[in-house]
Amino acid sequence: MQYGDYYQEQKILPRAKAALKKDVAAFEDEFEYGSTLITLTKSILSSVYLTAGELDDAIRLERAVIDANTRPKGANHPDSLISTINLANMLRLAAIWQEAEDLLVEIKALAEANLAEDHAIWNFLTLNLAQLIRASLWLTSKSNLALIYLEQRRDDEAETEFFEVMEESQRIFGAKHPDALTSMANMVSTYQQQGRWKELRVKYEEVVRLRTEVHGRTHPYTLRSSSRLATSMCYMGEYHGAEKLQRTVVDTWKSRAAENEQEHPDSMKAMVGLSTILYWRKNFAVAEDILRQILEEREGRYGRLHQKTIVTWANLAAMVWKQNCLEEAKELYEDVLKQSTAHHGEKHRETLHTASNLGNFYRAAGQLKEAKRDSQLGNQYARQ
Domain range 301-384, CATH architecture: Alpha Horseshoe (1.25)
pLDDT of residue 371: 46
pLDDT of residue 367: 60
Considering only residues 52 and 327, tell me which one the structure prediction assigns the higher pLDDT. Answer: 327
Give the chain's largest Cα–Cα span: 70
Residue 122 in this model has a pLDDT that exceeds 50: no
Considering only residues 262 and 150, tell me which one the structure prediction assigns the higher pLDDT. Answer: 150
pTM above 0.95, yes or no: no
The average pLDDT across 307-327 equals 84
pLDDT of residue 131: 53
48-59 pLDDT tens trace: 888 777 788 889
Considering only residues 194 and 7, tell me which one the structure prediction assigns the higher pLDDT. Answer: 194
Are the C-beta atoms of 232 and 200 separated by less than 8 Å?
yes
Residue 381 in this model has a pLDDT that exceeds 70: no
Domain boundaries, the chain: 1-73, 301-384
Cα 52 to Cα 4: distance, rounded to the nearest angstrom: 8
Cα 285 to Cα 291: distance, rounded to the nearest angstrom: 10
The average pLDDT across 166-181 equals 79
The average pLDDT across 220-246 equals 92
Closest alpha carbon to 222 in 199, 256, 193 = 256
Task: Name the amino acid, one letter, at 11.
Answer: K
CA 3 vs CA 38, 47, 90, 278: distances in Å: 16, 6, 15, 34
Q: How confident is the model at residue 226 (pLDDT cuts 50, 70, 90)?
A: very high
Q: For residue 30, how many other CB atoms are within 10 A of its CB? A: 10
Residue 268 in this model has a pLDDT that exceeds 60: yes
CA 227 vs CA 31, 148, 207, 247, 250: distances in Å: 48, 23, 11, 9, 9
Q: How confident is the model at residue 183 (pLDDT cuts 50, 70, 90)?
A: confident
Cα 100 to Cα 77: distance, rounded to the nearest angstrom: 19
The 8 Å CB, 24+ separation contacts for 230-238 are: 230/273, 230/277, 231/273, 231/276, 231/277, 232/192, 232/197, 232/200, 232/201, 232/204, 233/201, 234/276, 234/277, 234/280, 235/192, 235/197, 235/200, 235/201, 236/197, 236/198, 236/201
Considering only residues 238 and 84, tell me which one the structure prediction assigns the higher pLDDT. Answer: 238
Residue 11 in this model has a pLDDT that exceeds 80: no
pLDDT of residue 354: 77
Cα 156 to Cα 207: distance, rounded to the nearest angstrom: 21
Closest alpha carbon to 158 in 147, 169, 168 = 147
Cα 27 to Cα 362: distance, rounded to the nearest angstrom: 54
Cα 136 to Cα 119: distance, rounded to the nearest angstrom: 17
pLDDT of residue 245: 95
pLDDT of residue 111: 63
Q: How confident is the model at residue 278 (pLDDT cuts 50, 70, 90)?
A: very high
Proportion of the chain above pLDDT 90, given as a percent: 12
Cα 188 to Cα 166: distance, rounded to the nearest angstrom: 10
